Amino acid sequence: MQSKDVPAIRLRDVQFSYGKLPVLEQLDFRVGSGEIVGLVGANGSGKTTLIRILLGLVAPASGEVQLAGESAAALSPATRQRIGYVPQSPRLFPWLDGASMLRYFGAFYDHYDQEYAAELAARLKVTLKTPIQVLSPGQQQRLSIVRALGSRPDILVLDEPMAALDPAGRLEVIEQLAAEQQRRPMTILLSSHITQDLQRLCTHLAVLHGGRIALHAPLGIFDAMRRFTVNGAEGDLAAHSFERARHVRREQDGQRCWVIDAADVDDFQASVPKSATAASATHDLETVVSEWMR
């Protein structure tokens, strides 16, 4: 396991485009060892692309990408064995049953814990004796999570891992991930649109917006944010600024949505032009984070 001083995940000035369409632009992102970071962003914002670049599955146009202090493009065999990955669509062998699939994947590791994987499968209610092709999408997703955790990874990367699960299934997976992380300082990067899951599991959130990480902070910082809708004359709103704002979105002429810290509410309200009105909207995590996705 790497030193605490060495980040588990590090991206510097990463740039990537699909043809002429820019996806990531001078992106910087750092995840410390032992952190659980939720990665959020709108559909098409580049979350999966970021993850694939991080894992060395796609090469960036420029920039530096590191896992556990090593270049993602040239990981040592030892470091590769410390990384677990769960894609949004499980990449399993449909003609095998779960037990055979785990034995196959386990053969690529020096120390794959088959006993633990079987125990985890039982806890997550995954049958290992049924051909994978007849399992439901939710069962296949759980099996993919079991496969990744069976290697006892130090760094676990999950891309929308619970999209196919029902609420009870999501909660079971989150509880298992939390329990595993408490037993040992595993670093987790979890991409998800389900803010309730992120609140239950994550220590930090990172918002991907405009090709960059717009905000990366402890979960408590997001919990303390407030959202305001300001209505007024377009000229006054266009000229209005509040330097401590976290995010500003133009809804339409004469309307802006602001995300600010709770500690700045009084100063913000005092700064609003006299011709305008500021109304506090709901400020739950989903509402606040969605401002970067609209």
Whether residue 234 sits in one domain with residue 283: yes
State how beta strands 70-71 and 21-31 pair: unpaired
Whether residue 196 sits in one domain with residue 64: yes
Instruction: Output the domain CATH number for residue 152.
Output: 3.40.50.300
Per-residue confidence of the chain (294 residues) as pLDDT tens digits? 455 678 999 999 999 999 889 999 999 999 999 999 999 999 999 999 999 999 999 999 999 999 999 999 999 999 999 999 999 888 789 899 999 999 999 999 999 999 999 999 999 999 999 999 999 999 999 999 999 999 999 999 999 998 888 899 899 999 999 998 998 889 999 999 899 999 999 999 999 999 999 999 999 999 999 999 999 999 999 999 999 999 999 999 999 999 999 999 999 999 999 999 999 877 789 999 999 998
Host domain of residue 137: 9-220
Q: What pTM was estimated for this model as a whole?
A: 0.92
Instruction: Output the domain CATH number for residue 269.
Output: 3.30.70
Domain boundary among 220, 238, 267: 220
| Total domain count, the chain | 2
| Alpha-carbon gap, residue 99 to 131, rounded angstroms | 9
Whether residue 187 sits in one domain with residue 105: yes
Q: What is the pLDDT of residue 4?
A: 62
Q: What is the pLDDT of residue 164?
A: 85
Domain boundary among 220, 240, 262: 220
